[in-house]
Amino acid sequence: MEFKIIAKDKKSKARVGLLQTKSGSIETPFFMPVCTQTTVKYISSHDLQEMGAKAVISNALVLSLRPGQNLIKKFGGIGKFMRYQGVVFTDSGGFQMYNKSIYEKSDENGVLFKNPISGGKVYMTPEDDMKLQIDLNSDVAMCLDSMPLIEVSKEDVAEAVRKTGMWAIKCKIAHDELQKNIPKNKRQLLFGICQGGIHKDLRELSARHFAGIDFDGYAIGGLALGEEKEDEYAMIELAKNVLPEDKPIYLMGAGNPVELIEAISRGCDIFDSRFPTRNARNGSLFSSKGTVRLMNNSNRHSNEPIDSECKCFVCKTYTRAYLRHLLDIKDGNGLRLASYHNLYFLQDLMRKAREAIKKGKFTEFKKDFINKYKE
């Protein structure tokens, strides 16, 4: 398992890398559709393959509740269970600490969640989480982290940084022990997640802690949650200056096209977000000229595609007027078509970014894209 940088932009920190996993290699930067429960809403595994999505991310905690890790293990893991031929990441469940209806509390040893299905309690330790993610047979596991809510105090963020750092060590020890008899080329990778909110001292403290642990990759967590973009980008730059240059960097939760391009220019390699599909279901669609508000009256009689420059089958086939009608009547086909387009757009954007970096033209590509893209 390794990460190899194969191209760098001379005017920014943008780069193309090759991440090798037990399921195969994948070029960075790439965007992962969110398959929380082994499915993207309204999108099939076939759709994912067809649009060129070579990696997805599921949620280990959620899957442990339903259908259960034993069932997925029986089928050989998430990829085989959902018949998806690509790289699979699993989040630990730390993101669910952002969900007040599920999260109960955390302590030194783990996190207490409320099971929304049975009403019971689930206590997740770092060691439990590593066993769970290995059972799910994902290619890349994420450490259990404490993700602070955006509105909490600096003291609460500091406590989250402390717990996240402590749990990361436990995750690394447990993960190594569980795989000690597995050949290296068959092992699951493990990424650590630095936290710290938008507090420079806490973000640097967390990043330095993780840089001292030999993870296969590093994630920047607790951003893209509604903070000012200038603060988000400053935290990315701070973390990137500390984290190892020869390992992949994963910005968790980022899915706005401009945000992705800005993060790539700052050296991020991997992304995921529910933003593209959630917005699509509400009629907010990506295009080469910016966001299309499909439900606006101006699109009621429009014979245009969502994006004349897009090559997805949705843009090749359907008009804005028809898609608007489907969303207006809340038809499942409309939800699928809109979601498909937004995910395809981001896969194509990542492809174009990789090509621009390889050709030494990323800075020009970034400037051109951002100038044309209107929110």
What per-residue string of b and e applies to 98-112 under the rule 16 or more CB within 10 Å gives b?
Answer: eeeebbeebeeebbe
Does the bond joining 29 to the residue before it have cis omega, within 30 degrees of 0?
yes
Q: How many CA atoms lie within 13 A of 47 on its CB side?
A: 20
Active-site residue set? 91, 272
Q: For residues 363 and 13, is the Cβ–Cβ distance under 8 A?
A: no
Measure CA of the first residue to CA of the last residue in the chain; give whole Å.
Answer: 39
The 121-124 sheet, strands edge to edge: 103-107, 110-114, 121-124
Q: For 76, which DSSP code?
A: T
- What residues contact 77, with CB distance under 8 A and at least 6 apart? 88, 136, 137, 138
Count of other CB atoms within 10 angstroms of residue 9: 23
Q: Residue 112: phi, psi to the nearest 5?
A: -105, 120
28 and 248 Cβ atoms separated by less than 8 Å: yes
* Distance (Å, whole) CA 274 – CA 33: 7
List beta partners, residue 59. Answer: 91
Spatial contact of 115 and 122, defined as CB atoms under 8 Å apart: yes
